[in-house]
Structure 1
Amino acid sequence: MTDATFNHAEAPLRIGQVQLRVRDLDVVSGFYQRVIGLSVLDRAAGRVTLGAGSVPLLVLLGDPDATPRNPRDAGLFHTAFLMPTRADLAHWLAHVTRLGVRLQGASDHIVSEALYLADPEGNGIEVYADRPVAQWRDTRGQIRMATDPLDIPALLQERRGDWAGFPEGGIIGHVHLQVGDTGAADGFYRDILGLDIAARYSGAHFYGSGGYHHHLAGNTWNSRHAGPRPDGAAGLEAVELVARDPATREVIMARAERAGIPSEVSHQAAVLRDPWGTRIALAT
């Protein structure tokens, strides 16, 4: 059995940056630096860009007047930070244990091992490491996922040194969204963006590109029948999807145009909105 991990650079679509609108920029920025281990790459009035090495991953937009996020609205369920190795995940777990950070969950998903928490404004976070791709599928070739207890002692045995911040090569592996209806989510994330439905579970669909277990997911666990989120609310501002080549983005934009979905186009990205108003920025 091969130990090869998934190569996101080869997928037609992958997650780039996530933008969050936050009410207290200093507090939230400090949390992602101290707890997640991200570094400040750029700082401007009302805006902080955080990342790993020189790669931007998270953009925080400060807005003290933003409406506090409603946990039953459509929008963000969690931003998932993917560690390059299981040892990196073990280092991070030891780090947050020393800090006394309260985790909200720890799960073995078969495809990955994951730890869950939230930032000071309630934005969900997952920190995870993938298992080798060869371990993801059942005898029929279907991706297997579950939510089993994580063997934390076994994970901690993987430590090989001390925590030194979010590792270079770490990325945002996926973003899990709250949606009002999984069928309507399929109509956008599968039919417009062209993602595959990698798995379906009660109230949740998982969408992947290039064979990944999921780059995006949508669930109705807290948000069933939710309508569009109001502009200016705290929480998720945008998710950047990076296309492998311009042709991939052009195909998506053509599908969106045929479906009557408006777009906002700039020199950096073309922005579409899902049925709940979540901005999906398509970059290359």
Structure 2
Amino acid sequence: MTDPAPSLVTDVPDSILTGAPYRIGAVTLVAQGLGALARFYQDVIGLKAVSREPGTVRLGVGDTVLLVLRGEPEARLWTPHEAGLFHTAFLLPSRADLGAWLEHAERLGIALTGGADHLVSEAVYLSDPEGNGIEIYVDRPASAWRHAPDGSVVMRNERLDHAGLVHAAERPWSGMPPGSCVGHVHLQVGDLEATERFYAGLLGLDVMCRYPGALFLGSGGYHHQLAGNIWNSRGAPVRTEGTTGLAAVTLVADGETLASTRSRCGNAGAFFVEDGDTLVLRDPWGTCLRLVLRQ
């Protein structure tokens, strides 16, 4: 409960995300090598240092914190079969920005782990030096998203138009541009039913898409602010303290959403802590969720 609530990005690419009851504020990661990891997110991903203090570096865009790195040199390295982070997804304002980042990554010799056209978005993937997954993506306009008869958003893994994205670049990459934000956080979980009970039942997110082995949850009509999958982590137990990787996710909520979540948690007997206008609770695998009031 020591991280300050991040300021809000107000000029994100699509109003459907701007006005959503929930938005991702910041992601907190535990790092063995704090300095090296901070340099990676600055040099490769394009974040800027917002503040530094002993053992902690806060990175973001302008004055907005998107990523908090907490140094714990003795922490055990997280393994890919544990519950935790699948990826932090940084949303860029335009295809031109994603194309510029791709050129930048190529110049640096950064190896991508994948790329896909998800119909709602175009995305590329990589990992940081400590194995934390990263997505860099751009949304298609919400008016172009397809919906199934049951109202769910249609998302797929189609071939990415890499050449078209690079061609769309208008200027060299010079860091993550204004309007960039953490669009969503994708988690590794042990069980999808428990994920739905917690994130939909308690937090009040909507199930936007069911995919083999994964669940996508959104707010305000957005395709997803949070997701969970069991592709590598089926049956994973509660995470142990003292490991690297995901430590916390901050969700920015409006007052009505925060109040209704507090009421549901109380009625269900779920343990939570109130810290002023912040509600702190843990999901079934020990991931800390900090729900802060939108200012």
Same-fold call, TM > 0.5?
yes
**Separation of aligned partners in 1, 2:111 and 2:273:** 39
Alpha-carbon offset, residue 267 of structure 1: 2.9
Q: For the Cα contact (< 8 Å) 2:28–2:68, is it kept in 1?
A: yes
Query: Hey, what does 1:153 align to over in structure 2?
Result: 163
Query: Hey, what does 1:84 align to over in structure 2?
Result: 93
**Separation of aligned partners in 1, 2:15 and 2:89:** 15
1:132 alignment partner, one of 138, 141, 147 = 141
**Separation of aligned partners in 2, 1:49 and 1:7:** 27
Alignment of 1:72-221 (within 5 A): 72-138=81-147, 140=149, 141-221=151-231
- Give the residue type in structure 2 aligned to 1:175: V
Query: Hey, what does 2:269 align to over in structure 1?
Result: 260
Report sequence identity in percent.
51
Alpha-carbon offset, residue 261 of structure 1: 1.3
Structure 1: where are the runs of 5+ without partners? none
Q: For the Cα contact (< 8 Å) 1:6–1:212, is it kept in 2?
A: no
Alpha-carbon offset, residue 6 of structure 1: 4.3
Q: For the Cα contact (< 8 Å) 1:5–1:131, is it kept in 2?
A: no
Distance 1:192 1:97, change over 3 A: same
Structure 2: where are the runs of 5+ without partners? 1-12
**Separation of aligned partners in 1, 2:277 and 2:167:** 43
Q: For the Cα contact (< 8 Å) 1:72–1:226, is it kept in 2?
A: yes
Query: Hey, what does 1:230 align to over in structure 2?
Result: 240
Task: Normalising by structure 1, report the TM-score.
Answer: 0.96
**Separation of aligned partners in 2, 1:270 and 1:198:** 24
Partner of 2:202, secondary structure, is: coil
Alpha-carbon offset, residue 260 of structure 1: 1.6
**Separation of aligned partners in 2, 1:7 and 1:84:** 13
CA deviation map 1:65-95 (0-9, x unaligned)? 1111021111100000000111111111111
Task: Normalising by structure 2, report the TM-score.
Answer: 0.93
**Separation of aligned partners in 1, 2:268 and 2:75:** 32
CA deviation map 1:130-161 (0-9, x unaligned)? 00101112473541100111011111111111
Partner of 1:149, secondary structure, is: coil
How many residues are paired up?
280
Alpha-carbon offset, residue 164 of structure 1: 1.2
Q: For the Cα contact (< 8 Å) 1:6–1:132, is it kept in 2?
A: no
